[in-house]
Amino acid sequence: MGKGRPVLDGSFFVILAVLVALSALAWWRGGSELLLDGLGKGGQQLVRFGAVLVLSFLAAGLAEVLIPRDAIARVMGQDSGLSGILLATGAGAVTPAGPFVALPIASVMLASGAGPGPVVAYLTGWSLLAIHRFVAWEIPILGPRFATFRLGVTLVLPVLAGWVARALTRG
Q: What pTM was computed for the model?
A: 0.73
DSSP letters spanning 57-124: HHHHHHHHHHS-HHHHHHHHSTT-HHHHHHHHHHHHHH--S-HHHHHHHHHHHHHTT--HHHHHHHHH
What percent of the chain is predicted at pLDDT more than 70?
96
Encode pLDDT of 94-133 as tens digits.
988 788 788 888 988 998 899 999 999 999 999 999 999 9
